[in-house]
Amino acid sequence: MLNFEDVLAQYEPMITANIRQLNIYREHEQYRQTGRVALWQAWRKFDKEKGNFTPYAYRSIRGAMMDEMMKENRSEERFMPAENEKLTLWIEEGVSEEEGWVDRLSQAVEQLAEEEKQLLNWLFVERDTQADCAKRLGISVAGVKKRRQRLLEKLRGVMEGGSE
């Protein structure tokens, strides 16, 4: 078989296609590298007598990317991002670094729809996982992540004096 640089050049479009097919919308370079490593491992392990390399490479690349996605999702569910720690403290304990934060938080929460308030309660007060919230709402975990992100952006906008 060819040297690995030639194989990588030939199969790089397959790596890109897998990123697109798996709807990976961030950390592209991380997943591209995961695909390259999987391709290299497939290239090293491949036995010509067992069939064609292309399907083997495809399964290897896709499987490695899916494993990486699962690891990332588990990590996100276990650990709340640091950017939200201040908001979490405000909601749970009432810790203040500035005067007027209670009024701004109250004003921000008042502007939320009922479903947003419920999600805020589940995530930050009851400390439910995103998977639990997804089951309650009847949507995917990705849907909860998007709603959570929009909710936090809306709250930040009001808390910083802007309006959403």
Task: Using the predicted structure, report yes or no on whether residue 107 has a pLDDT greater than 50.
Answer: yes
Q: How many CB atoms lie within 10 A of CB 108?
A: 21
161 versus 121: the higher-pLDDT residue is 121
Task: Kindly indicate the confidence band of residue 101, based on its pLDDT and cuts at 50, 70 and 90.
Answer: low
**pLDDT (tens digit per residue) in 43-54:** 999 998 989 999
Task: Using the predicted structure, report yes or no on whether residue 109 has a pLDDT greater than 50.
Answer: yes
Task: Using the predicted structure, report yes or no on whether residue 95 has a pLDDT greater than 50.
Answer: no
Which of 2-6, 89-93, 142-146 shows the lowest per-residue confidence on average (mean pLDDT)? 89-93
97 versus 23: the higher-pLDDT residue is 23
Task: Kindly indicate the confidence band of residue 35, based on its pLDDT and cuts at 50, 70 and 90.
Answer: very high
Which of the listed ranges 2-6, 24-28, 59-63, 69-73 does the model predict with the highest average pLDDT?
Answer: 59-63
Q: Which pLDDT belongs to residue 164? A: 43
3-state secondary structure the chain: CCCHHHHHHHHHHHHHHHHHHCCCCCCHHHHHHHHHHHHHHHHHHCCHHHCCHHHHHHHHHHHHHHHHHHHHHHHHHHCCCHHHHHHHHHHHHCCCCCCCHHHHHHHHHHCCCHHHHHHHHHHHHCCCCHHHHHHHHCCCHHHHHHHHHHHHHHHHHHHCCCCC
Q: Which pLDDT belongs to residue 163? A: 46
Across all residues in the chain, what is the average pLDDT? 83
Q: Which pLDDT belongs to residue 98? A: 54
pLDDT (average), residues 5-29: 92
